């Protein structure tokens, strides 16, 4: 690029503007305590959001880094997942271009380990549903996503119980650590904060907010009934 040329906006800038607090708050019933924390658009946005949420609650730790979380996801990949991704790539399914040249499970794992902050957003593997479920289970997090990519708009990813069963909406304990996210149509994720917190026990979220994801925290419900 010539020195006198003007650099265009970074990838993800449009997302950051369109996902401003007022727009997301409208999705969530204009709750005043809802705000948006913008995450760098570099291909690591989901992992960076998780790192920020976990670090605010417990203090920063190498256990929460993007590299560590990518390693958790890579190690959790199976031959079955590799075969599925290969098939989706062969069918030219959108979002699986990263499988080009990937001919083995180990190659896929190595590619998932690559951080976007080091190679750029177009050369790393973005977090998909499998990655989000893996991180939710690993850190025992309930993920509540305002998903502009889906017609349903509200996606819930609950961690599995020790028995392996997924926690349903009626049995989620009020102390369950919860992270709220906004996913734009361009696959970028930002954090949704409630009352300034990135990670909140679900029982401390108002019933109106929980209701978008079909939740009914027992603690909040009892408090509501007592009022």
Contact 41, 188 (CB under 8 A): yes
Each residue's pLDDT tens digit, 172-183 = 889 999 999 999
- pLDDT at position 165, please? 64
The DSSP symbol for 4 reads T
Which helix (H) or strand (E) element contains residue 85?
Answer: helix 79-90
Strands 177-183 and 34-37: unpaired
Specify the residue for token string 């020195």: 3
The CATH code belonging to domain 33-213 is: 3.90.70.80
Contact 115, 70 (CB under 8 A): yes
Percent of the chain scoring above 70 in pLDDT: 82
- pLDDT at position 5, please? 35
* Confidence (pTM): 0.85
Each residue's pLDDT tens digit, 112-124 = 999 999 999 999 9
Each residue's pLDDT tens digit, 70-112 = 999 999 999 999 999 999 999 999 999 999 999 999 999 999 9
Average pLDDT, the chain: 86
């Amino acid at each position: 690029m010539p020195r006198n040329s003007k650099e265009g906006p970074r990838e993800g800038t449009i997302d950051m503007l369109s996902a401003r607090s007022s727009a997301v708050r409208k999705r969530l019933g204009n709750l005043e305590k809802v705000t948006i924390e913008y995450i760098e658009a570099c291909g690591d946005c989901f992992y960076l959001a998780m790192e920020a949420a976990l670090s605010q609650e417990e203090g920063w730790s190498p256990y929460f880094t993007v590299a560590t979380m990518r390693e958790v996801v890579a190690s959790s990949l199976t031959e079955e997942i590799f075969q599925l991704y290969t098939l989706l790539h062969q069918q030219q399914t959108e979002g699986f271009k990263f499988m080009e040249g990937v001919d083995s499970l180990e190659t896929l794992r190595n590619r998932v380990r690559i951080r976007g902050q080091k190679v750029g957003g177009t050369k790393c593997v973005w977090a998909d549903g499998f990655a989000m479920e893996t991180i939710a289970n690993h850190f025992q997090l309930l993920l509540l996503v305002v998903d502009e990519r889906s017609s349903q708009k509200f996606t819930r990813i609950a961690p599995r119980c020790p028995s392996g069963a997924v926690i349903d909406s009626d049995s989620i304990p009020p102390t369950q650590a919860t992270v709220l996210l906004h996913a734009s149509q361009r696959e970028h994720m930002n954090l949704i904060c409630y009352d300034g917190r990135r990670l909140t026990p679900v029982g401390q979220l108002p019933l109106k907010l929980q209701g978008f994801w079909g939740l009914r925290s027992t603690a909040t419900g009892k408090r509501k009934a007592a009022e």
